[in-house]
Amino acid sequence: MINPELLAALEPLLDRALELSHDERVRFVADVRREKPDLARELETLLAVERDLDDHGFLSGPIAVRAGDWIEPEATALTGRTLGAYTLERPLGHGGMGTVWLARRSDGRYEGKVAVKLLNVALFDPIGAERFRREGTTLARLAHPNIARLIDAGVADGGQPFLVLEYVEGKRIDAYCEDEALSPERRLELFLQVLAAVGHAHENLIVHRDIKPSNILVTADGNVKLLDFGIAKLLEANVDGAEPTTLTDLGGSALTPEFASPEQVSGAPVTTATDVYALGVLLYVLLAGRHPTGAGLTSRAEHLRAVTEVEPTRLSLAASSERLRRHLRGDLENVVARALKKKREERYASVTAFGDDLRRYMNHEPVAARPDSLGYRAGKFLRRHRAGVTIAAVVIAALASATVFAWRAKISATRQRDEAVYQARRAEAIRDFQTALISQIGVSRVSLRELLDRGVTALGRQTTRDPRLTAALLLQFAYRYGELEARDVERALLARADSVATVSGNPSLRALIACELARYHADLAHPDSGIAALAFGKTVLLTDKNPDPDARAGCLLSEGLLAVQGKKFDAAVGLQRSALAVLDSTGRHSTLEYYSVQSELADVLRGIGRVREAVRLDESSREGLAALGLENSVIAASVNNNLAQVLLERGERARGITILRDVLEQTRSADSTREVHPIVGFNYASQMFSAGQFDSALYWYSAVRRSSQESKNLEVERRALIGIARTKARLGDASGAKTALGRLLEIAHQLNKPTKRDSMFVSASIALAEQDTTRAAQTFEAVIREDGFFDGKRTPTSRSPLRDLTRITLARRAPQLALDYARALRQMALVDSLAEFQSADVGEANLLAALAHAALGAADSASHYATAAVKALSVGAGAADRLTLEAQATVDSLARAKAKEHASK
């Protein structure tokens, strides 16, 4: 056994040694050995253990113990304690948030008992207390026999927050139904009471957001009482065991996956329809005894995915017995199914409507919910397997509308006849082709890549006699492959098109193909080959006395692209405008190709900073594509994405997010199995992450990753993995984050990309999740140092880490440094914004500055910035955004403090 003296002597040595590097330690131990060899030996052993300490797992986590029921009950000590106007009588129980006591009003004003919930959080943070108080006032408005009334909410001296609630003695609704072995009718009756409660709240514009069995009690006389109404919202930023600092604001809100609605998972705003969904799940569970989509699933990510992608099993099929199945079949399951629709618009519009339909069922009247007829189910089945079909349709649409050859001007009669024949044959070929594709699909799910592969094979088998047609089809395929970055196939197809064109001897055709080849080379950054091909194309084109407008346009575009690469942006703009003019002159103003070119021009303009022109063009493309019914096309998604990005860069988050979400929802509604557009999905996920909606972010990042894996796009997968790693870290899954990081690094190596910043960025998030603020701060600093921040460089990618770093710095009580960071953020945001009070980025920076000023004791400056923050955030992020709420709470809290000060003077 080690003696105390040795122990005492070791500690300072250990202290010193732990600070040293490996080599230095060796030297240090040698020094010690000279004086005290025993001590040195001990030290050496300890240091040897230290290296493997983490692997040992010795004392790595907090302890847990299970004890038996031998513990004798004893009298209590808090009895008689007063809290505000209430006197505590005896404890009732223990919830996730804190302990509940039975209490009564000290002055006897309110007859009867109350339940006082002592929250396990010391709200020493004045902003938190302010928010808590305000929410309490809102919730106290609810008065309904089926709602456990919130009577009061307060914060006692010393920061002890408490809620005073109506005292309810009862059992959880699911347990009650089980224990009393209730018939389905009785369960429905109980459920109607729940509906009444939620309906009342909706009338008062309060959404519960957290409906689940543990929040619904049934009293001994069979009455339902709903608990914790909106309290989830109330406690959002304060649920944490510890003393909350601004660090908790870095945490987002987590959902209960089993009862989360699809829109909650995808990050759309919560509405009363969200409660309808949760009620649907509840009813399902009460009737069938199992979960509609998540039965048997274990991981959080699986649950979330099931909510949005898995169709609920028909209620009757989920029944546990034949008798129950017969009971549940028919209209009842239609009603439940309607409440569980993925799309909000398809559910019951209100809780009242839900209840009405249920009552009709119980009275054997016809219900409003339509059954999923066989046709509809078949339609759904087709939809699921029609991935290939839909994409084929897109390809065909592109083929059809991008008319490669439209001889309009100055054509002779014979040519006119030829043209008609050509068009007819073209239409025929397309139809045949389409049939061939579809019939080959069968019932297996086909990815775009596979589909294209099959298409090319089919094209090979079908020899068309018209070289123009063959070349046209080959070109289109080449474009699609190019979009998927399958460059070798693209090359091969272009080569084939080239030989077809050469054989045909048609100069315009040869020119067009040559210019497309030039484009291909330009895309891959081989300017020399590109220039050569372009030169050839232009020369050949000159030999045609009636050059085809498509060829002319195509060559102008390719030249434009090469100009962009050569950084001759103004020239590029001119060339692209000329191409558009050519298309215009042949009357092809409103076609897919036209808008495609227009959006490319917008890209270039954006690149040279002519953002407003770009926005105008994009808006025109967007309208035009919608008018063509092509809002689901890849180009429309791209255009919308670009519009949204501009908005987001300017700090107009609310508008930008809405556009992105619309695109995603439209894609989904067209075909629920269709892959999410990776760029849009990614940008949306990033916005969800910034908004603290980590579950939603995880869902979308994962969807993007799946999409990129199917199309084998490594770059997108890499970026999605960064998102996944950071999100998992923030959701507390450090090992999941590390796994993602590992894969990420592999891919980065494959792509020959530098990995330093990515891994630092992820590590910072992991450190944050592990509450290691020091490491997190250091790592975030390293990330922005890498971006050149400390050398005065300001890049947009620094904004996200800088925001987190500012929050951490505030939490670590270094307000002056935090203020510096906040100022830098503000500068960056102002530069990019259109107007200060429309930009959420400026607003957020103002808020951070306000918090820093407040911590420094400069109350007036703090007020000034906080007020400005509220203005900007209300517009830029929306009134319901958590940042807006935080800013408002800050303003209020500062005002109260000031009032107090004045009063005491």
Binding residues for another protein, rule: CB under 8 A, are 1-2, 4, 7-8, 10-11, 14-15, 18-19, 42, 45-46, 49-50, 53, 56, 58-78, 81, 91-94, 96, 98-99, 118, 120, 122, 160, 241-243, 245, 254, 732, 771-774, 812
Considering beta carbons, is residue 61 or 296 the nearer one to another protein? Answer: 61
Residue 623 C-beta: closest distance to another protein, Å: 47
Q: What's the angle, vertex CA 347, arms to CA 342 and CA 352, rounded to 5?
A: 145
Considering beta carbons, is residue 56 or 323 the nearer one to another protein? Answer: 56
What count of other Cβ atoms lies within 10 Å of the Cβ of residue 828? 19
Q: What is the 3-state secondary structure (H, E, C) of 245-290?
A: CHHHHHCCCCCCHHHCCHHHHHCCCCCHHHHHHHHHHHHHHHHHCC
Considering beta carbons, is residue 92 or 511 the nearer one to another protein? Answer: 92
Considering beta carbons, is residue 257 or 537 the nearer one to another protein? Answer: 257
Considering beta carbons, is residue 489 or 764 the nearer one to another protein? Answer: 764
Residue 15 C-beta: closest distance to another protein, Å: 6
List all residues 6 or more positions away from 699 whose beta carbon is below 8 Å from its beta carbon.
265, 266, 267, 301, 304, 305, 308
Considering beta carbons, is residue 45 or 299 the nearer one to another protein? Answer: 45
Residue 298 C-beta: closest distance to another protein, Å: 14
Considering beta carbons, is residue 156 or 880 the nearer one to another protein? Answer: 156
Residue 493 C-beta: closest distance to another protein, Å: 52
Contact 587, 409 (CB under 8 A): no
Q: DSSP state, 838? A: G
Nearest alpha carbon to residue 864 among 834, 826, 902? 826
Nearest alpha carbon to residue 208 among 294, 127, 147? 147
Q: Tell me the C-alpha distance between 210 and 420, whole Å.
A: 64
Contact 530, 518 (CB under 8 A): yes
What does each C-alpha distance from 715 to 450, 603, 690, 728, 741 come to in angstroms?
20, 20, 22, 20, 15
Phi, psi of 532 (to 5 degrees): -60, -50
Residue 563 C-beta: closest distance to another protein, Å: 55
Considering beta carbons, is residue 444 or 735 the nearer one to another protein? Answer: 735
Which residues pair with residue 86 across a beta bridge? 83, 105
- Rg of the chain over all Cα atoms, to the nearest angstrom: 33
Considering beta carbons, is residue 770 or 901 the nearer one to another protein? Answer: 770
Considering beta carbons, is residue 30 or 242 the nearer one to another protein? Answer: 242
Residue 699 C-beta: closest distance to another protein, Å: 20
Residue 809 C-beta: closest distance to another protein, Å: 13
What does each C-alpha distance from 869 to 127, 884, 886, 889 come to in angstroms?
15, 8, 10, 11
Q: Which residues of 783-805 are buried (b: 16+ CB within 10 A; e: fewer)?
A: bbebbebeeeebeeebbbbbbbb
H runs (alpha helix) in 589-733: 592-607, 611-627, 634-649, 653-670, 678-690, 694-710, 714-730
- Terminal Cα-to-Cα distance of the chain (whole angstroms): 64
- Measured in whole angstroms, the distance separating CA 324 from the mean position of its chain's CA atoms is 39
- Amino acid, single-letter form, for residue 622: R
820 is catalytic: no
Residue 118 C-beta: closest distance to another protein, Å: 7
- Measured in whole angstroms, the distance separating CA 283 from the mean position of its chain's CA atoms is 28
Considering beta carbons, is residue 44 or 203 the nearer one to another protein? Answer: 44
Q: Residue 64 is encoded by which pair of tokens? A: 């847990």
Q: Residue 549 is encoded by which pair of tokens? A: 């407008």
- Amino acid, single-letter form, for residue 798: S
Q: Residue 104 is encoded by which pair of tokens? A: 């009564």
Q: DSSP state, 100? A: E
Residue 885 C-beta: closest distance to another protein, Å: 23
What does each C-alpha distance from 635 to 76, 710, 810 come to in angstroms?
70, 20, 44
Considering beta carbons, is residue 657 or 776 the nearer one to another protein? Answer: 776
Residue 23 C-beta: closest distance to another protein, Å: 19
Q: What is the 3-state secondary structure (H, E, C) of 498-564?
A: HHHHHHHCCHHHHHHHHHHHHHHHHHCCCHHHHHHHHHHHHHHHHCCCCCCHHHHHHHHHHHHHHHH
Q: DSSP state, 831? A: H
Residue 212 C-beta: closest distance to another protein, Å: 15
Residue 80 C-beta: closest distance to another protein, Å: 9
- The active-site residue, picked from 125, 152, 174, 210, is 210
Q: Tell me the C-alpha distance between 511 and 745, whole Å.
A: 43
Q: Tell me the C-alpha distance between 450 and 472, whole Å.
A: 20
Q: Tell me the C-alpha distance between 496 and 651, whole Å.
A: 47
Considering beta carbons, is residue 18 or 420 the nearer one to another protein? Answer: 18
Question: For the CA atoms of 812, 817, 820, 824, what is the dihedral angle to 10 degrees?
Answer: -60
What count of other Cβ atoms lies within 10 Å of the Cβ of residue 889? 23
- Residue with structure tokens 């008319």? 403
Residue 221 C-beta: closest distance to another protein, Å: 22
Q: DSSP state, 711? A: T
Catalytic positions are: 210
